[in-house]
Amino acid sequence: MPTPVTAIYPGTFDPITNGHTDLIHRATRLFSRVIVAVAANPGKDPMFSAAERVELARLVFADVEKVEVVGFNNLLVDFAAQQNAGVILRGLRAVSDFEFEFQLAGMNRKLAPALETLFMVPAEPYAYLSSKIVREIASLGGNVADFVHPKVKAALADRLALKS
């Protein structure tokens, strides 16, 4: 039997999309535990606070046994060590993502040589999907039901109603 391995899937998840959830569900087939690591990342000026993004991800994965959602605001390699994670998961939607992700993977390897980075490609229906696009569609009154969990759609609608 293979050794249990914990993977971390870090991101801002503002908001978490069906592309993220697809990758996470697929990762549960590969790893004994998948931690959705919600980065505080205030520099990105997120629509939802870190606590709200953690709560939304927890709602989305409430019934998935191998998934744990945790917020963090420190260096990813340090957080991975705290969680006993052996793998960082990253999604690659397009070739344009590769250069930045390659740089991050190289730096993480320099900082924590035992920590591996695994790139996963989204399922075809989500190859174009990003949180930024979902926020933009929602803010312009478009229907995001095909792109996010129903609870995330409701949270977007509530947030946008407050800004009106």
Task: Count Cβ atoms below 10 Å from residue 136 Cβ, excluding itself.
Answer: 12
Active site residue 49: no
Pick from 148, 161, 163: nearest CA to 59: 148
Catalytic site includes residue 20: yes
Cβ–Cβ under 8 Å, residues 17 and 129: yes
Catalytic residue among 26, 93, 151, 159: 93
- Has 44 been annotated as catalytic? yes
**Separation CA 124–CA 75 (nearest Å):** 31
Give the containing element (helix H, strand E) for 38. Answer: strand 33-39
Please confirm, yes or no, whether 66 is among the known catalytic residues. no
Q: What is the rounded CA–CA span in Å between residue 66 and residue 140?
A: 36
Find the catalytic residue in 33, 53, 90, 131: 131
Task: Give the residue numbers marked as catalytic.
Answer: 20, 44, 93, 131
